[in-house]
Chain A
Amino acid sequence: DVKVTQSSRYLVKRTGEKVFLECVQDMDHENMFWYRQDPGLGLRLIYFSYDVKMKEKGDIPEGYSVSREKKERFSLILESASTNQTSMYLCASSPQGANYEQYFGPGTRLTVT
Chain B
Amino acid sequence: TQLLEQSPQFLSIQEGENLTVYCNSSSVFSSLQWYRQEPGEGPVLLVTVVTGGEVKKLKRLTFQFGDARKDSSLHITAAQPGDTGLYLCAGGPGGGADGLTFGKGTHLIIQP
Contacts and interface: CB of A to CB of B under 8 A. Distances in A.
A104 B40 contact: no
A99 B48 contact: yes
B95 A58 contact: yes
Interface residues of A, number: 30
A41 B48 contact: no
B41 A48 contact: no
Interface stretch (B67-75, B77-85, B96-104): B96-104
B102 A43 contact: yes
A101 interface: yes
B31 A104 contact: no
Interface in A1-31: 4, 9, 31
A41 B9 CA distance: 12
Contacts of B41: 106-107
Contacts of B92: 99-100
A31 B97 CA distance: 7
Contacts, number: 72
Interface of A: 4, 9, 31, 33, 40-43, 45, 48-50, 56, 58, 90, 92, 94, 96-107, 109
Interface of B: 30-31, 33, 35, 40-45, 48, 50, 88, 90, 92-100, 102-105
Given A50-B96, A56-B96, A100-B92, A90 B33 contact: no
Nearest to A96: B98
Contacts of A49: 97
B31 A45 contact: no
Given A42-B104, A100-B31, A107 B98 contact: no
What 5 A-B pairs are tightest by C-beta distance, nearest first? A100-B92, A104-B42, A50-B97, A42-B104, A99-B31
Given A43-B88, A58-B95, A94-B98, A100 B40 contact: no
A31 B98 contact: yes
Given A42-B102, A97-B98, 18 more contacts: A42-B103, A42-B105, A48-B99, A56-B96, A58-B95, A94-B98, A99-B30, A99-B31, A99-B50, A100-B93, A100-B100, A101-B33, A102-B90, A104-B43, A104-B44, A105-B42, A106-B42, A109-B40
